[in-house]
Amino acid sequence: MTTEPETLTVQPDSLREEQARLRAWLSRKRRALGLEMALEFALDAAAATVALAAALVALDYGLRLGLSSRQVLLGVTLAGLAVALAIRLVPRFRAATLDDLSLAMTLDRVRPGVGQQVADVLQLPGLLRQEKAAESPAMVRLAVRRALEALAAADRETRWNWARTAGRGLLFLGALAIPVAFALVAPSAARLSLARWLRGADERWPQGTYLSVTGVGDGKSLLAPRDEPFTVEVRADLPDLRPRDDRWDLPGRGEPFSIRSRPEAPVAPPSVRLRERTPEGAVRDVLMTAVAPGVFRHELPPSSASSTFELTGGDDWLGPIRIERADRPTLQATRLRVRDPGAAKGEFRAVEDTAQSLLFLPDTEVEMTLVGSEPIDRTRLDVHPGEPPALERVDPKSFAARWTLREATTLEIQLTASGTGLASRPTFLSLGLLKDREPRVTLRAQGVGAHVTPVATIPLAMAATDDLGLAATRLQVERTSHAEGKAEPAVSKQTVPLPLPAGGKAVLDHQARHDLDLQPSPPPVGTILRIQAEAEDRCARGAQVGRSGVVHLQVVSADELFYEILIRQRAERAKFLATVEAAEKQAPVLASTTSPEDYMNVLRALHTSSRQLDQVAGRIADTLQEMKLNEVGSPKSHRLLQDGIIDPIRELNAGQVAELRNVLQALGGGTRAQPDVEKARRLHGEVVAKMKTILEQMSQWESFVDVVNQVAEVIKIQQKVLKDTEDARETRTKEVFDEDKP
């Protein structure tokens, strides 16, 4: 600002011009000051913004803030920055809008006295316009002139503070160099910072660990069966990482998640923490179990309500992921219809109770319908062994399959619901193979041994069993005999039908008795009898014949069989004699004063004798039955054997022996009453005497048999002599009348 001294005249007009020039100068100073403050404010704001941005990036990198946290933090930071800048802007704005006198007082801080001089120039000329001024006009003008001269010299001292502005500029350039260097050194990190803070992207900073939940896929929840334990599996080995454009997508996190580059070696965390939150507000915080490198599992307890969980492990976190609880589908019904082999085409019968044992014949056509408890998306049917039959949809809840059963099969059925995608628990259905075996037949010859007489009656007992029912039973009797003068044996066969019970029900088990009487057609001695039972069943695939074992019998003469039976009876007599002698040895023990232990020893010996008596009586009775069936001996001999030996032995065993057993048991128990002792001695004596009487009857029987045999032998000798005499007479007669002989 220049002031011309010659303009400082005493004229008021010149003073007004000086005031106008002073105001113009002040206006220029005001604009310069405003521009300086605006530039410094902009530099300060830019530096503060860069510094805060660097702090936010560093904070985000260290804390890995989420989107909401970043938004809140960014809002708070910008608000704080705006408040701070506003605080610094208010005095600068006020300084840029000062009036002339206030600006002069402000300049007075830079150069003391300038403010007073400006005030003199602006205010003193106003005294000259007053009508009655107390001040001297000359003095006023002089003061104004001196103030203008001082202001002209002060113009050079109030110029722009370039040093401070340069310092602010250097600060701004230094702050600006930080993001530039960051962009040059780490462009990917700089790009990621801009994307996270300016665009609100969810892309994360590079991590060493990336977790994923098995089963979540690209969805946001897991589906779990209601009221059942559920296992959550977390993996850190990036099993499902898939490329997409210039990124890699990682499913199984409950939200879209992508990374810029595939980690070369994912870091498996030492542990993974799971925090579950239930609808009631309960929190379960657990460490998952490591089951393999990078694989962690945890079993959630059964629950009927849905819940959410979060995961943290290593430098990764994810969640919340929702666990939706839903009911599993169930196999509501299994309907079976079968067509048995041999049935008419299309003739199926329904199987009412599929829970029972399911057994079917081979080549049975099976039609199975599976009904679910809710609409079914698909049905998995596995057959063990073999290939599963094709399934056809019947309605939204039902599937049907049809196949021919050729072997025992176990079906594994699993349904998948349309709405939830949950699979039912496997249901197993076993279809057994009922092999219609041929009938099982047994045949026994009762009451006879391996040898029979030509006039014997052979009691046969046949038993037949079949799986589905018998159609017919019969006996096959084959006779093989050797005729005199013939080298080849003569064989004859006979079929004896055995009727089945009448009725509509199938006969599964049948027993029959048949007496084969040889007397109508007595076979010659030496004939071999082969008897076999046969049974036919009602198999749908064709009648099957089952055969019993063969009963072999040989026809012998009555004398030979009688001698064989007698040998067996003599063996029984020897056993009976040993029993008598054993009983006699106990008499001295009972005769003396004995202890309870001695009575018990006698009782044990009596038990053995009693069993031996039963066995002897039974075997002798068997020989008697064999004699009657083979018509060996006379009725008198049969009565002698029955009344004299068999019945007495049984009566003795059921009478005196049983009574003696009771008395000895009482004596062995400690009861030593004298009447009991005497009674034991008496009964023992009676038993021994009775056994000796029976032994004599056996001797008489053998003597009777010997006499009979001797008489029979004499008769045979006489018959042989008579036959030889007749043969010799016939031979001589032929020789006399034979003309060809000399």
Q: Starting from the edge strand earliest in sequence, which strands make up the sheet with 247-249, in order? A: 242-244, 247-249, 258-259
CATH number of the domain enclosing 508: 2.60.40.3930
Query: Nearest to residue 276, comparing CAs of 314, 230, 242?
Result: 230
Q: Is residue 21 part of a domain?
A: yes
Domain closes at, from 371, 406, 433: 433
Q: Is residue 192 part of a domain?
A: no
| pLDDT, tens digit, 9 for 90 and up, residues 578-634 | 888 888 888 888 887 667 788 888 888 889 888 998 998 899 899 889 888 888 888
Q: Is the dihedral of CA 41, 43, 48, 53 positive or negative?
A: positive
Tokens of 593: 């004063």
Find out whether 578 and 506 touch, Cβ atoms under 8 Å: no
Does the structure show a pLDDT above 80 at 19?
no
Please check whether residues 300 and 340 belong to one and the same domain.
Answer: no
Does the structure show a pLDDT above 50 at 2?
no
Query: Nearest to residue 446, comparing CAs of 614, 628, 572?
Result: 628
Q: Is residue 654 part of a domain?
A: yes
Instruction: Name residue 545's amino acid.
Output: V
pLDDT at 354: 72
Does the structure show a pLDDT above 80 at 3?
no
Give me the helix-helix angle, 12-63 and 67-96, nearest 10°. 170
Query: Nearest to residue 613, comparing CAs of 683, 663, 687?
Result: 687
Q: Is the dihedral of CA 503, 346, 360, 534 positive or negative?
A: positive
Place of tokens 């009448």: 502
Which pTM was predicted?
Answer: 0.51
pLDDT at 112: 55
What average pLDDT does the chain have?
A: 79
Please check whether residues 524 and 382 belong to one and the same domain.
Answer: no
Least confident range of 89-93, 208-212, 253-257: 89-93
Please check whether residues 258 and 365 belong to one and the same domain.
Answer: no
Distance CA 128, CA 54 (A): 63
pLDDT at 460: 92
- Is the model more confident about 276 or about 136? 276
Q: Is residue 136 part of a domain?
A: yes
| pLDDT, tens digit, 9 for 90 and up, residues 341-358 | 877 787 888 887 777 778
Distance CA 336, CA 367 (A): 6
Q: Is residue 194 part of a domain?
A: no
Q: Is residue 309 part of a domain?
A: yes
The domain tally of the chain equals 5
| pLDDT, tens digit, 9 for 90 and up, residues 281-301 | 888 899 999 999 889 999 999
What number of CA atoms fall less than 13 Å from residue 66's CA on the CB side?
Answer: 6
Please check whether residues 309 and 354 belong to one and the same domain.
Answer: no
Tokens of 291: 């089951």
Please check whether residues 389 and 508 belong to one and the same domain.
Answer: no
Q: Is residue 198 part of a domain?
A: no
pLDDT at 245: 79
Q: How many residues does the chain have?
A: 742
Q: Is residue 741 part of a domain?
A: no
The mean pLDDT value for 358-373 works out to 87
pLDDT at 728: 72
Distance CA 605, CA 598 (A): 11
Please check whether residues 37 and 88 belong to one and the same domain.
Answer: yes
Sort residue 421 into left (φ over 0), alpha (ψ -120 to 50) or beta: left
Confidence of residue 742 (pLDDT cuts 50, 70, 90): very low
pLDDT at 4: 40
Distance CA 343, CA 349 (A): 10
Query: Nearest to residue 479, comparing CAs of 490, 471, 487?
Result: 490
Tokens of 445: 């010859």
pLDDT at 287: 92
* Residue-range definition of the domain harbouring residue 680: 559-723
Distance CA 38, CA 89 (A): 9
Tokens of 420: 């939830």
Please check whether residues 159 and 275 belong to one and the same domain.
Answer: no
Distance CA 234, CA 730 (A): 119
Please check whether residues 464 and 511 belong to one and the same domain.
Answer: yes
pLDDT at 9: 43
Confidence of residue 550 (pLDDT cuts 50, 70, 90): very high
The mean pLDDT value for 97-105 works out to 57
Distance CA 669, CA 651 (A): 27
pLDDT at 297: 92
Helix (H, G, I), strand (E, B) or coil at 121: helix
Confidence of residue 398 (pLDDT cuts 50, 70, 90): very high
Please check whether residues 32 and 152 belong to one and the same domain.
Answer: yes
| pLDDT, tens digit, 9 for 90 and up, residues 41-50 | 777 777 778 8
Query: Nearest to residue 566, comparing CAs of 709, 383, 385?
Result: 709
The mean pLDDT value for 485-497 works out to 82
| pLDDT, tens digit, 9 for 90 and up, residues 658-683 | 888 888 888 877 655 667 778 888 88
